[in-house]
A and B are shown apart, each in its own frame.
Chain A
């Protein structure tokens, strides 16, 4: 898994490229929580190139979501592929996270 960060419309965009599996959760946690600790509380997770996600990684997203929210910010999800969208629906996490069709939309609606 590779994590790339960018800035867009006053949002930190964190692109998760590859598989967000158990082995990658620590790196994902560091990237997301590190950004929030550094003051980036408006975060868009770009899932456009995320081909897999496990419950551990979902847990990291939730922890980041709660931490950002506590600081007046947010964690939004953007562009999940079909199978990831199904995981979000199966877990009903699409009722927790705001999920956008693309990064531009997620960053624009801020």
Chain B
């Protein structure tokens, strides 16, 4: 497992973290982003949406991107402002085609235990874009007023 992973809080509000590929790291980083949302009084619906998409994206990066390999890490960057929440997550895997994920809401796929993460991200965030062959995802949630 990588040790002494770099952490960085920039002056422009961006928070940068490198997470080990372990599920506990999701909860810890989630706690920080939720605290920032609470400080800016985002409403509960938006808080839930960001939390869900954040969790799904990190879970995908760790499980599907890094195959839960403890020698690999996930790069995380996010910024919470009064206008929006923006999140970037990058894994060290081989990438994938997000357009190739079967529709989990199709009748024939309802009984599949996996494959809902990407759909939930698209459903709960305002913008979701992939880069680096699917290894990086950028998500944005604009604040509703």
User: Does A62 lie within 8 Å of B111, measured CB to CB?
Assistant: yes
A83-B45, A90-B123 known; A22 vs B55 contact (CB < 8 Å) = yes
* Nearest-CB residue, chain B, relative to A58: B116
User: Does A93 lie within 8 Å of B110, measured CB to CB?
Assistant: yes
Is B120 located at the chain interface by the 8 A CB criterion?
yes
Chain B nearest CB, measured from A82 CB (Å): 9
Contact with A along B107-132 (1 / 0, CB 8 A): 10011111011011001100000000
When distances are taken between beta carbons in the complex, the residues of chain B under 8 Å from A52 are: 48, 51-52
Is B105 located at the chain interface by the 8 A CB criterion?
yes
When distances are taken between beta carbons in the complex, the residues of chain B under 8 Å from A59 are: 113-114, 116
When distances are taken between beta carbons in the complex, the residues of chain A under 8 Å from B1 are: none
* Nearest-CB residue, chain B, relative to A62: B113
Chain A nearest CB, measured from B30 CB (Å): 8
Q: CB < 8 Å: which of B23, B24, B116 contacts A55? A: B116
Is A60 located at the chain interface by the 8 A CB criterion?
yes
Contact with A along B30-48 (1 / 0, CB 8 A): 1000000000000011001
When distances are taken between beta carbons in the complex, the residues of chain A under 8 Å from B134 are: none
Compute how far the CA of A92 lies from the CA of B109 in the bound complex, rounded to whole angstroms: 10
Extra A-B contacts (6), CB below 8 Å, given A22-B26, A55-B117, A83-B44: A22-B23, A22-B58, A58-B113, A60-B113, A63-B113, A91-B119
